[in-house]
Chains A and B, each alone.
Chain A
Amino acid sequence: MDTLRRWGAMVATDLRQRIRPPRFGWLLAFLMVGAWFCLPETGGNGMRVTVGEARAHYSSAWIGMALALSGSTLLSLIGFYAVRGSIARDIDSRGWELLMATPMTRVGYLLTKYLGILAVFGLFLAAMAATGLVAQTVRGEVPDWQLWQLLQPLLWVMLPALAVTAAAIVWFDLLPWLRGTAGNVLFFFVWVAMLGAGTAAVLESEAGRQPGFGALVLDVSGVSVMRTDVMPVLAAERPELARDSFSIGGGGVDDPSRRFHWTQWTPSATWLSSRLTLLLLATVLVLAATPLLDWAAARPRQRHDAASQPGFRLRWLDALLRPAERLPIGRLVAAELRLALRPRGWWWWLAALAVLIVQATAPGNGRLAGWLIGLGLALPYLAHARIRDRETDTLDLLAVSPQGGGTLVWARLLAAGLLGLALSAPSLLYAPLAVTAAVLSVVGVCFLLAQLTGTARAGELVYVGSAYLALNGLPIFQAHSQPAVTAQGHGLVALGSIALVVLLARRT
């Protein structure tokens, strides 16, 4: 009983700590707007969930399913960046030592942290459900509320997927080298791999047959439910629309003629047990981290960084920056560049050299990849520079200096721009204007997101996500192939975001 009370108190405290900052309210509001956006009115635009070439009328069951699938695919990614950090904070602040000096066990600690993350996800789920009910009323396609039908998909489809994200958060917070930017970048690819592998496992199962249990478990986002439980209903009612496909996305208008009725969902025992198995596996994954806890907790971020990244004195950099130091802003930029580059270990310099060579020599997509990875190497500085003072508790020291406000922000923007341009040097030769505009837009967006969200993760996610999409053909960073369009688009983003950063810096 004592143990349960202790766990309950920890989960409640963890939840309180997370939901009290105003930022959480904004996140919840953002989520509700997103959920609303997933349920567009007939003839309207929005992010629609479709099966085959149709969607069901907005019944409670379909709304629940549409929200659950959007949540299990997208929120499992965004949730990681929005919620991670609690264990890392305990370790870095040594708050963990206070907890471990109590009768709390290591297993109990990790489980309560995991449950705390799930509780936050539970709030997300509740907010989405509430939005779904409002949407059902407003859209009025199927007016009767069926609360259990709405909640079922959220519980069985979305929650296990978010449990896997929660387990990943525990691991990424524990492992010292994954607590920062590297972990944030890596998780994006873990998520892509998870999504791809799961969907492929389901789609590769023999046509006309139900996917095997293994494929169902591997399907973390739960999209298999469309094939197992929804497609048969569509095929029976509208066989002409029953293609073996499923999509979450925008584009096109919601066509009222492509509808079917789906008001009741009773998940099959096999499918349901695959979700419960996934939930169990996520919990086991958390428990498997227990033996690492003491080792990880002995490595708070600062100490770990200092030990593992000896960095270099970089006397050549001093010589290079000396002329700039004649100007007051130049001194600040030089100091910022030293701050950005001195902690970098040999592997960073090696990687920088490699991406410069790739940019200079590789054709087409190789050059693009080299450039984007190069910018990625600057990401730890780009994403953190605007909020470094808050992260390192140096805000008061800097804020009382005559140049601690706007001038320092300009110096950091300049340093970030120079760093980005240095890592894009060969690309600059091919498309100077477009590359410069793109670098500055990445800098501006990273600074702005850091300022607005108070964390570096939003910038990291946006950059990694857009770089991934660009490498998969989306025209986001096509500086080499479409320099004029890129220069124009990124130029506007750069101007807008940097203007906002400076404006907000003045206000604060």
Chain B
Amino acid sequence: MAVSLRLDGVQFRYGRKPATLHGISLAQGAGILGLLGPNGAGKSTLMRVLATLTKPSAGTVHWNAVDIARDPTPLRRELGYLPQAFGVYPMLTAREFLAYLAAVKGLGPREAEARVEHGLAAVGLAQVADRRLADFSGGMRQRVGIAQALLNDPKLLIVDEPTVGLDPEERLRFRQLLAELGRDRLVILSTHIVSDVDSSADAIAVMRGGRLLAHCTPQVLIERARGQVWACAVADAELSGLRERHPVSHVERVDGGLRVHVIARAAPLASAVAIEPALEDAYLACLHLTEAG
């Protein structure tokens, strides 16, 4: 079944405080949507709105044509959610904790058992599933969090900074898992680490200050940054001055100084040459030059 998510002018503010989301609109079908933005961009607030934890102050969110603020239940049945920070019941084993959450999600006993085992295997915890969560490391708890998000075989999977605390091998395994999951469902992955999404995302949304700066494919984002990413050689002492004037996306030590990638509309130095942007460059260009423009 095709899935669709549509946001129309979504705003959010806490009481009388300034809005943390300003009129976000986008539409997205199955695939992986990488939600990028610096800390405080409003990504987590948007995730909480999408996960039905908070209602938008204005605007609507439709999941498969149902307004989730009016009727959150259909979405909740199809939702897997991994918040940025979450706790566990330390007295329970990983298997028991997942079985508990499966019950809360309304899964039947047989289905719950199968989904718990599937989740444990998917995140590589099957061998330690009967150990108490109190004895788990931070990375292992994060994997339990990922497993719980998969329990109900969700059609919409929302994961907020999911790779925090994972070691490189687990990060790789997680990206592969997401790539598989994204084939027939919508996965929204919020992160400020571009490498988490650069190989797998079908679409990228860039946020800053509660606003959506871009929503397009990675290729389009890269295309837009063409001619705005520059490579140049600078002396050590010049770097801080250059940073004050332009975002620097890459610094590499070379013989006699530094080679840097600079984001700018025009060549930042006479010696600078335009280069082919990577997704990280394109993200920074979108973040800084869209604001400037």
Residues of A within 8 A of B73 (CB): 402
Closest to A398 in B: B104
Tell me the smallest distance from the CB of A323 to a CB of chain B, in Å. Answer: 11
Q: Which of A303, A305, A396, A400 contacts B76 (CB 8 A)?
A: A400
Tell me the smallest distance from the CB of A394 to a CB of chain B, in Å. Answer: 5
Tell me the smallest distance from the CB of B249 to a CB of chain A, in Å. Answer: 32
A303 to B104, CA, bound (A): 25
Q: Which of B53, B79, B86, B109 contacts A331 (CB 8 A)?
A: B109
Closest to B48 in A: A396
**CB pair B53 A400 closer than 8 Å:** yes
**CB pair B134 A334 closer than 8 Å:** no
A396 with B96, Cβ < 8 A, contacts A302-B90, A402-B105 known: no
Q: Which of B53, B85, B91 contacts A311 (CB 8 A)?
A: B91
Residues of A within 8 A of B101 (CB): 397-398, 401
Closest to A408 in B: B104
Residues of B within 8 A of A339 (CB): 89, 91-92, 100
A404 to B81, CA, bound (A): 13
B120-143: which have CB < 8 Å to A? 132, 134-135
A334 to B102, CA, bound (A): 12
- When A and B form their complex, what is the total count of cross-chain residue pairs whose Cβ atoms lie within 8 Å? 86
A56 to B109, CA, bound (A): 70
Q: Which of B87, B99, B109, B135 contacts A394 (CB 8 A)?
A: B87
**CB pair A396 B81 closer than 8 Å:** yes
Q: Which of A303, A342, A397, A408 contacts B92 (CB 8 A)?
A: A342
**CB pair A343 B53 closer than 8 Å:** no
Q: Does A207 sit within 8 A of B, measured CB to CB?
A: no
Residues of A within 8 A of B109 (CB): 325, 331
Tell me the smallest distance from the CB of B72 to a CB of chain A, in Å. Answer: 9
**CB pair A392 B99 closer than 8 Å:** no
Contact with B along A47-66 (1 / 0, CB 8 A): 00000000000000000000
**CB pair A392 B88 closer than 8 Å:** yes
A305 with B134, Cβ < 8 A, contacts A338-B96, A396-B86 known: yes
**CB pair A393 B104 closer than 8 Å:** no
A192 to B59, CA, bound (A): 57
**CB pair A397 B91 closer than 8 Å:** no
Q: Which of B77, B83, B90 contacts A397 (CB 8 A)?
A: B83
Contact with A along B48-83 (1 / 0, CB 8 A): 100111000000000000000000010011010101
Closest to A343 in B: B91
**CB pair A335 B99 closer than 8 Å:** yes
Residues of A within 8 A of B52 (CB): 399-400
A401 with B83, Cβ < 8 A, contacts A335-B100, A342-B91, A394-B88 known: no
**CB pair A306 B96 closer than 8 Å:** no
Q: Does B106 sit within 8 A of A, measured CB to CB?
A: yes
Q: Does B220 sit within 8 A of A, measured CB to CB?
A: no
Tell me the smallest distance from the CB of B14 to a CB of chain A, in Å. Answer: 14
Q: Does A75 sit within 8 A of B, measured CB to CB?
A: no
Q: Does B190 sit within 8 A of A, measured CB to CB?
A: no
A397 to B144, CA, bound (A): 12
Contact with B along A329-360 (1 / 0, CB 8 A): 00110110011001100000000000000000
**CB pair B92 A331 closer than 8 Å:** no
A374-405: which have CB < 8 Å to B? 392-394, 396-404
**CB pair A400 B81 closer than 8 Å:** yes
**CB pair A401 B90 closer than 8 Å:** no
Q: Does A328 sit within 8 A of B, measured CB to CB?
A: yes
Residues of A within 8 A of B53 (CB): 396, 399-400
Residues of A within 8 A of B51 (CB): 396, 400
**CB pair A335 B104 closer than 8 Å:** yes
Tell me the smallest distance from the CB of A199 to a CB of chain B, in Å. Answer: 42
Residues of B within 8 A of A332 (CB): 103-104
Closest to B152 in A: A401
Residues of A within 8 A of B86 (CB): 393-394, 396-397
A307 to B262, CA, bound (A): 53
B40-54: which have CB < 8 Å to A? 48, 51-53
Closest to A309 in B: B91
**CB pair B132 A404 closer than 8 Å:** no
**CB pair B96 A342 closer than 8 Å:** yes
**CB pair B103 A306 closer than 8 Å:** no
A338 to B104, CA, bound (A): 14
A303 to B109, CA, bound (A): 30
**CB pair B99 A401 closer than 8 Å:** no
Q: Which of A309, A311, A343, A401 contacts B104 (CB 8 A)?
A: A401
**CB pair B87 A393 closer than 8 Å:** yes
**CB pair B91 A305 closer than 8 Å:** yes
**CB pair B104 A404 closer than 8 Å:** yes
Residues of A within 8 A of B112 (CB): 331
Residues of B within 8 A of A342 (CB): 91-92, 96
Residues of A within 8 A of B191 (CB): none
**CB pair A331 B87 closer than 8 Å:** no
Residues of B within 8 A of A394 (CB): 86-89
Residues of A within 8 A of B135 (CB): 306
**CB pair B105 A401 closer than 8 Å:** yes
A331, A338, A403 — most chain B CB neighbours (10 Å): A331
Tell me the smallest distance from the CB of B232 to a CB of chain A, in Å. Answer: 41
Residues of A within 8 A of B228 (CB): none
Q: Does B11 sit within 8 A of A, measured CB to CB?
A: no
Residues of B within 8 A of A311 (CB): 91
**CB pair B83 A396 closer than 8 Å:** yes
Q: Does B148 sit within 8 A of A, measured CB to CB?
A: yes
Contact with B along A3-46 (1 / 0, CB 8 A): 00000000000000000000000000000000000000000000
Counting from the closest, the 5 A-B pairs by CB-CB distance are: A393-B87, A306-B134, A343-B91, A302-B90, A396-B83
Mind listing 11 A-B residue pairs with CB under 8 Å?
Answer: A302-B134, A306-B91, A306-B134, A332-B104, A343-B91, A396-B48, A397-B101, A401-B76, A401-B101, A402-B73, A402-B105
**Given A306-B132, A328-B106, A400-B76, 14 other A-B contacts at CB below 8 A?**
A302-B90, A303-B134, A305-B90, A305-B134, A311-B91, A332-B104, A339-B92, A392-B87, A396-B48, A397-B83, A400-B53, A400-B79, A402-B106, A403-B105
